[in-house]
Structure 1
Amino acid sequence: MATYHPDRDQLLIEDVLAALGHPVRLGIVRELAASDHERTCGSLPLEVTKATATYHWRVLRESGLTREHKRGRYKAVSLRREDLSTRFPGLLDAVLNSSPPSALGEDRQAI
């Protein structure tokens, strides 16, 4: 069974923003952006169950933020930086250059 990846012109801003709105997924995107090569799903130290991690990876893929392919026994994942930059110029850079979620913790609790 083929893994679904939306085409560039199918990427929707509301899907991308919703995917980026969760701290675990935002952390994954930050890690992928900081890496100069694709990563395997298991190479990121996520503090969630395997089932929850699988869910987050699927949301990222189906929103168009990441692309997956099989590499041996593992799934290799990369950030779709070019597609995102073409479809939504400046969005990914703005998100990646924003303050990390942990720096906002106390301010967010006051809201």
Structure 2
Amino acid sequence: MARPRTAPRGLEHPGPDEFSLQRLLEALVDPVRRAAVCQLAQAGRDMSCGAFDMPVSRSTATHHFSVLREAGVIHQYYVGTMKMNGLRTAELEARFPGLLQTLISAEDRERSNCGRPG
């Protein structure tokens, strides 16, 4: 059955109790995904998918955002037709204290500009 036009679009997100260290680390092993996380952290606000500087096609970027969402790293939601992305900082900090900030700091040290993947 087709979704009624007035129904809001929703996306599946794992609850914090479903976060898995294995899945989180697998999501963050990719340099494009780490760069997206760093860009969100540096922005200090939610960003639309199109606002990211990513060296991949739009469809590949969509895949990367899905992997991050399914691992619990980001929360995605729609504003009109725009898909927004935000870090789940508080939830990740509660489940894996210090991990996200350690990753961002390490990535920043590894690159002079955290927003450049690879």
Q: What's the TM-score, normalizing by structure 2?
A: 0.82
Structure with the bigger percentage of helix: 1
**Superposed displacement of residue 102, structure 1:** 4.4
CA distance in 1, matches of 2:41, 2:25: 16
Share of identical aligned residues, percent? 34
| Unmatched segments (≥5 aa) in structure 1 | 104-111
1:36 aligns with 2:47: no
Stretches (4+) displaced over 2 A: 99-103
The letter for the 1-side match of 2:21 is I
Task: Give the 5 Å matches for 1:5-24.
Answer: 5-24=13-32
| Unmatched segments (≥5 aa) in structure 2 | 1-8, 113-118
1:60 aligns with 2:68: yes
Indicate the residue corresponding to 2:115 in structure 1. none
Structure 1 SS opposite 2:53 = coil
**Superposed displacement of residue 35, structure 1:** 1.3
Aligned residues: 103
CA-based RMSD of the aligned residues comes to 1.4
Structure 1 SS opposite 2:22 = helix
1:26 aligns with 2:27: no
1:73 aligns with 2:81: yes
CA distance in 2, matches of 1:99, 1:88: 18
